[in-house]
Amino acid sequence: MFYQMKRLLVKEGHSSQVVERFSKKGMLIESQPGFLDKQVLVKKSRRGEEEVLVMIRWQTEQDWKNWEKHPDHIAGHKAKIGQPKLDYIIESSQDVYDVM
């Protein structure tokens, strides 16, 4: 198994917007070969920010790589080019993990 982990640090009070975006059912990713499931976690902070962790589980690393190269996935990212950044997102990162 393989995990794709997205971490988003957002201004306090905005985690629900990120959760809504990543929790939608029927997203294209869910129909991809090798996709197993997705979980969205929220960590409240006392520093005026919130952390959202999106954990996407794949059968294999190759399944994830195939999704990353999928034309629909690429088109979704290209469609966002030139749009203003969401002002409530402080930072974001992505990591990948093998399940041992």
Domain membership of residue 33 as a residue range? 2-81+88-98
Domains in the chain: how many in total? 1
Task: Say what the pTM is.
Answer: 0.87
Label residue 79 by pLDDT band (50, 70, 90). confident
Distances (CA, A) of 4 to 37, 88, 92, 97: 11, 23, 13, 7
Residue 48 pLDDT more than 90?
no
Residue 51 pLDDT more than 90?
yes
CATH number of 72's domain: 3.30.70.100
How many Å apart are CA 18 and CA 42, to the nearest integer? Answer: 10
